[in-house]
Amino acid sequence: MACRGDEPGKPFSAILSWVSPGSLPTHRTRTHNICMVSDFFYPNMGGVESHIYQLSQCLIERGHKVIIVTHAYGNRKGIRYLTNGLKVYYLPLKVMYNQSTATTLFHSLPLLRYIFVRERVTIIHSHSSFSAMAHDALFHAKTMGLQTVFTDHSLFGFADVSSVLTNKLLTVSLCDTNHIICVSYTSKENTVLRAALNPEIVSVIPNAVDPTDFTPDPFRRHDSIITIVVVSRLVYRKGTDLLSGIIPELCQKYPELNFVIGGEGPKRVILEEVRERYQLHDRVRLLGALEHKDVRDVLVQGHIFLNTSLTEAFCMAILEAASCGLQVVSTKVGGIPEVLPENLIILCEPSVKSLCEGLEKAIFQLKSGTLPPPENIHNVVKTFYTWRNVAERTEKVYDRVSVEAVLPMERRLNRLISHCGPITGYIFALLAVLNFLFLVFLKWMTPDSVIDVAIDATGPRGAWTYRCSHRKRRSGKYEISKTR
Amino acid sequence: MEEERSFSDICGGRLALQRRYYSPSCREFCLSCPRLSLRSLTAVTCTVWLAAYGLFTLCENSMILSAAIFITLLGLLGYLHFVKIDQETLLIIDSLGIQMTSSYASGKESTTFIEMGKVKDVVINEAIYMQKVIYYLCILLKDPVEPHGISQVVPVFQSSKPRLDCLIEVYRSCQEILAHQKTTSTSP
């Protein structure tokens, strides 16, 4: 809501007195009104969520106007403001499965159109292919003639039924999207193949970590024992089954070895079973779900970080671990080999045997003292990936997209029919026409002129821009400002 | 001093805002919606009666026709008495408090009064309303237990739902009075 708990009248009176044009950053020639759409955003936790948040913050810093649209999380619905005036719409849409909303392709149009119009959005940036809302927003944005960008955060297979279906939907959704961003080259290859895209409209912009949040602290770990840290959701995709094979084997071989496992998920049961069967209660600690701010405290307790993912587009976890100065042992899947240089990571095949060998190699290096000190690893890693760099590169994509023409209706229909196969193509062309008619109806019901233009919190005419420029950005960037 | 300006509501309908400045510490804002138009009344009555007549030709029971007449009459009475608000008034007096009055089309009035001691602030807020995102004016009430907390949010002009330009007008005046009240209450 518009009022903050501490001084409710203030923000609005600040908004009402329009900020003078002198306060806008002068080095920018063009700024964009960007709307990030995804089903996944805070208070849900994960890579996509923090990616959207950090990217938005850096884009705000560069003078763009950014808003985020997501679905309501429990009691958190309506409009909230986060740090630096980042406005978040929590729309009351039904959640169907795994925090993804149900889609009928039409029911979200009235609200999304209202938001796009009142915020004067020019670029829609959707995130994650699992998010139904992101695809809906792309579909509506194209109907409304807005520029569209899509970021894919995950890898898919080609073989099983669910993948075949999602790939088909992705083909439909992306065939007329202006630009697509992938987080690694592997992911780009995967997306181009899945959605049958022209590779020229696909860019690679990796994720980043905030190096100030992940600093090493060698005094927190005990050097008499060796601690292996695992931080991931305990699900099949993250290879928890492999982990349950590794634990007993290594614990038998090395009596001084300990495991610390952070994360929650349906596969937690099998880890508990392993712990029970081999009597490893004092050596395998299961921490349960971790908050993002606690991850660093867990990471610095260990010497070696183990990642057992079976599929991964980029893998933030190993980057965070390396930033904390841990030796990383990981499976060689997806985009992981691209993330870190060879001397900082030990890559293994995704099998228990290979991972055990990799871990043994890391343990040997640790015992012989050939590993570089954590501080050195941190200093190397912190130069690799920063959010400012990500924002700069994303901005280039926006600049490029904003001068492109949006496909007019008849060419969009042609593209759908020629690109997505005869049956799907015609079905979705029909849906696109229906969506267009629905939009015409909505425009007749509430014309654009009746919709109030929202007061910008961020961007060139943002009411908060002035306030932030003289208030230094605080270090606690993850902290979500208390809103009521 | 009295002046009248016309604004529109969130659906594009016409609204008239009357402002009466009695003194620097007392102002009244009156938002009036257009009265029930004969056209919409005729349209609704005609549809109900045509539907009733259609049913009558199907099942040939004259009860339906008389029921339709009663339904229209009762519906109209209920609508005018409980639903249709013609005028909403916000009276703000800096030493006393804020009074909100809504007058129904039938002449019924309902009044709420909030004393100044309870009012923390008057703000414009955003909310998702049906398939729209709208601005609305609301009064924040102080939490008696926690001095900086807010115990309740009272929306103003709930039925007329004016657009932002109208709200800003009212908001500015309210803030002036609130500021006036703060300076007078701190300096005895």
Asked if residue A286 lies in contact with residue A271, where contact means CB atoms within 8 angstroms, the answer is yes
Among chain B residues, CA nearest to A442:
B131
Instruction: Name the band, by pLDDT with cuts 50, 70 and 90, for residue A33.
Output: very high
Among chain B residues, CA nearest to A15:
B124
Residue intervals of chain A classified under CATH 3.40.50.2000 are: 30-208+388-476, 218-384
User: Is the pLDDT at B129 greater than 70, yes or no?
Assistant: yes
Same-domain status, B69 and B157: no
Could you say which of B82, B104, B137 is where a domain stops?
A: B82
Q: Which domain holds residue B101?
A: 2-36+84-186
Within 8 A by CB and 6+ apart from A474, the residues are: none
Same-domain status, B70 and B113: no
Q: What residues of A are in contact with residue B164 (Cβ under 8 Å)?
A: 452
Average pLDDT rounded to a whole number, residues A325-339: 91
Could you say which of B82, B111, B143 is where a domain stops?
A: B82
Same-domain status, B121 and B157: yes
pLDDT at A465: 66
pLDDT at B110: 93
Same-domain status, B68 and B99: no
CATH superfamily of A30-208+388-476: Glycogen Phosphorylase B; (3.40.50.2000)
Cβ <8 Å between B172 and A16: yes
pLDDT at B188: 54
Average pLDDT rounded to a whole number, residues A466-471: 52
Structure tokens at B132: 């729209």
pLDDT at A12: 39
Query: ω before A92 within 30° of 0 (cis)?
Result: no
φ/ψ of A90, rounded to 5, equals -100, 100
pLDDT tens figures, A288-328: 888 878 888 999 999 999 999 998 888 888 988 999 999 99
Cβ <8 Å between A450 and B11: yes
Same-domain status, B95 and B127: yes
The mean pLDDT of chain A is: 85
Same-domain status, B166 and B126: yes
Same-domain status, B51 and B116: no
| Residue A49 CB neighbour total at 10 angstroms | 19
Average pLDDT rounded to a whole number, residues A110-135: 93
Comparing CB atoms, the residue among B135, B140, B171 nearest residue A452 is B135
User: Is the pLDDT at A18 greater than 70, yes or no?
Assistant: no
Here the ipTM equals 0.89
Instruction: Name the band, by pLDDT with cuts 50, 70 and 90, for residue A25.
Output: very low
User: Is the pLDDT at B149 greater than 90, yes or no?
Assistant: no
Same-domain status, B6 and B74: no
Comparing CB atoms, the residue among B12, B140, B168 nearest residue A16 is B168
pLDDT at A237: 86
Same-domain status, B104 and B182: yes
Same-domain status, B152 and B107: yes
User: Is the pLDDT at A422 greater than 90, yes or no?
Assistant: no
Q: Is the pTM of this model over 0.90?
A: no
pLDDT at A369: 85
Same-domain status, B109 and B141: yes
Q: What residues of B are in contact with residue A450 (Cβ under 8 Å)?
A: 8, 10-12, 163
Size of interface A-B (CB pairs under 8 A): 72
- Residues from B contacting A (CB-CB < 8 Å) are 8, 10-12, 120-128, 131-135, 140, 148-150, 163-164, 168, 171-172, 175
pLDDT above 70 as % of chain A: 90
CA distance A245 to A182: 32
Query: ω before A43 within 30° of 0 (cis)?
Result: yes
Asked if residue A240 lies in contact with residue A306, where contact means CB atoms within 8 angstroms, the answer is no
Comparing CB atoms, the residue among B11, B132, B148 nearest residue A6 is B148
pLDDT at A466: 59
- The CATH code that applies to domain A218-384 is 3.40.50.2000
pLDDT at B187: 61
> How many structural domains is chain B composed of?
2
CA distance B33 to B161: 10
Cβ <8 Å between B124 and A78: no
Asked if residue A127 lies in contact with residue A48, where contact means CB atoms within 8 angstroms, the answer is yes
**Shortest Cα–Cα distance, B121 to chain A (Å):** 6
**Shortest Cα–Cα distance, A16 to chain B (Å):** 8
**Where is average pLDDT lowest: A52-61, A152-161, A438-447, B66-75?**
A152-161
User: Between B183 and A438, whose confidence is greater?
Assistant: A438
Same-domain status, B120 and B94: yes
pLDDT above 70 as % of chain B: 98
pLDDT at A4: 37
Q: Which helix (H) or strand (E) holds A133?
A: helix A132-144
Q: Which helix (H) or strand (E) holds A109?
A: helix A109-118
